[in-house]
């Protein structure tokens, strides 16, 4: 399976400019015979929306931008990030997977960072679920940025038998690290390596770049194979476009050796979690 990651810098609050940017990268991916292209978190709107959320949020079932995306997805699958108005006046930080002219799956960000430079809970509702959905190349799950840093959420996708985990992100760079542009970039890569190996799944992480409201987004998008091997990596800070071939056969080869998924016991974890929640004390 040939995939592309579009590490872009969206225009804040300007959907029309952003859909044109998406169209350009989708055409570029087509020229390289890519089967799937992935864009970052809130790629259709920019990240630091604040009071622009209600002005840029769309209903994907009816909005003209999604009609254009559906048309483009007839011969290439697409993952985009957007502000969603699921119900009137209720907004979500969402990602959509489109293929063959249809919206196949929507994930709504569950873990909304609201601390320091982050204010997501002020403007977005939290999602309630992590679902695995079927594609021609295997079972897939999606996460948005901070979702990925909660390994319980990663386990839910593993228990759901995900073969590919897509993570779209708008992660700013923080801290300095030798050999890395930012210390936070090292953190994301460590998580990518660990989750891919212990879930025996491909982990595909697409971050954005550019600056908004004093934030510098780090880039550094990456792809890990099911044994935790780095397959591809984008530049830090700068816009980039990377393409990689994923060997679906790696799933079988890895799971013959690493038995984490075979041996997982979600029913035991479920009962233990029930006891923990029942006995929780504030």
Helix (H, G, I), strand (E, B) or coil at 91: strand
Q: Is a pLDDT exceeding 90 seen at residue 107?
A: yes
Q: Is a pLDDT exceeding 80 seen at residue 93?
A: yes
The two structure tokens encoding residue 20? 């044109």
Radius of gyration of the chain (CA): 18
The residue ranking higher by pLDDT, 195 or 175, is: 195
Other C-beta atoms lying within 10 Å of the C-beta of residue 2:
13
Report how far Cα 194 is from the mean position of its chain's Cα atoms: 17
The model's pTM: 0.95
pLDDT of 182: 86
Q: Is a pLDDT exceeding 90 seen at residue 120?
A: yes
Domain that holds residue 85: 2-278
- Taking only the tens place, the pLDDT of each residue in 210-242 is 999 889 999 999 999 999 999 999 999 999 999
The β-bridge relationship of strands 2-7 and 240-245 is antiparallel
As for how many domains the chain has, the answer is 1
Q: Give the contacts of 281 (CB within 8 A, at least 6 positions apart).
A: none
The two structure tokens encoding residue 135? 């594609």
pLDDT of 177: 62
In the chain, the DSSP E strands lie at: 2-7, 36-38, 77-87, 90-99, 102-108, 132-135, 138-144, 164-168, 202-206, 209-212, 215-218, 222-224, 230-233, 240-245
Question: Of the ranges 71-80, 179-188, 197-206, which one carries the lowest mean pLDDT score?
Answer: 179-188
- Taking only the tens place, the pLDDT of each residue in 178-189 is 655 788 999 999
What backbone torsions phi and psi does residue 222 show, to the nearest 5 degrees? -155, 165
- Taking only the tens place, the pLDDT of each residue in 19-66 is 999 999 999 999 999 999 999 999 999 999 999 999 999 999 999 999
Check which CATH number belongs to the domain holding 120 and give it.
3.60.110.10
Question: Of the ranges 19-33, 89-103, 143-157, 170-184, which one carries the lowest mean pLDDT score?
Answer: 170-184
Q: Give the contacts of 280 (CB within 8 A, at least 6 positions apart).
A: none
pLDDT of 180: 57
Contact between 178 and 142 (Cβ < 8 Å):
no
Residue of 106, 143, 21 lying closest to 72 (CA atoms): 21
Place of tokens 């210390």: 183
What rounded mean pLDDT belongs to the chain?
96
pLDDT of 179: 58
Q: Give the contacts of 152 (CB within 8 A, at least 6 positions apart).
A: none
The β-bridge relationship of strands 202-206 and 164-168 is parallel
């Amino acid at each position: 399976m040939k995939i592309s990651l579009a590490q872009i810098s969206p225009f804040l609050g300007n959907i029309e400019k952003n859909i044109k940017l998406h169209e350009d990268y989708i055409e570029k991916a087509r020229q390289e015979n890519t089967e799937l292209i992935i864009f970052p978190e809130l790629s259709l709107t920019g990240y630091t929306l604040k009071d622009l959320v209600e002005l840029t949020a769309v209903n994907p079932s009816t909005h003209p931008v999604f009609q254009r995306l559906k048309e483009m997805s007839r011969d290439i699958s697409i993952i985009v990030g957007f502000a969603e108005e699921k119900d009137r006046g209720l907004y979500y930080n969402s990602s959509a997977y489109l293929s063959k002219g249809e919206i196949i799956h929507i994930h709504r960000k569950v873990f909304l960072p609201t601390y320091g430079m982050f204010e997501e809970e002020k403007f977005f509702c939290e999602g309630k679920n992590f679902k695995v959905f079927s594609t021609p190349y295997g079972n897939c799950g999606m996460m948005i940025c901070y979702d990925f840093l909660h390994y319980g959420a990663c386990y839910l996708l593993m228990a759901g038998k995900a073969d590919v985990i897509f993570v779209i992100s708008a992660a700013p760079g923080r801290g300095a690290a030798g050999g890395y542009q930012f210390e936070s970039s090292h953190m994301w890569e460590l998580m990518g390596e660990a989750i891919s190996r212990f879930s025996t799944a491909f982990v595909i992480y697409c971050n954005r770049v550019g600056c908004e409201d004093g934030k510098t987004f780090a880039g550094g998008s990456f792809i890990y194979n099911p044994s935790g091997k780095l397959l591809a990596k984008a530049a830090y800070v700068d816009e980039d476009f990377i393409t990689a071939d994923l060997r679906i056969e790696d799933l079988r080869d890895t799971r013959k050796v690493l038995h984490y998924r075979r041996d997982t016991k979600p029913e035991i974890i479920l009962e233990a979690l029930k006891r923990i929640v029942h006995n929780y004390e504030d």
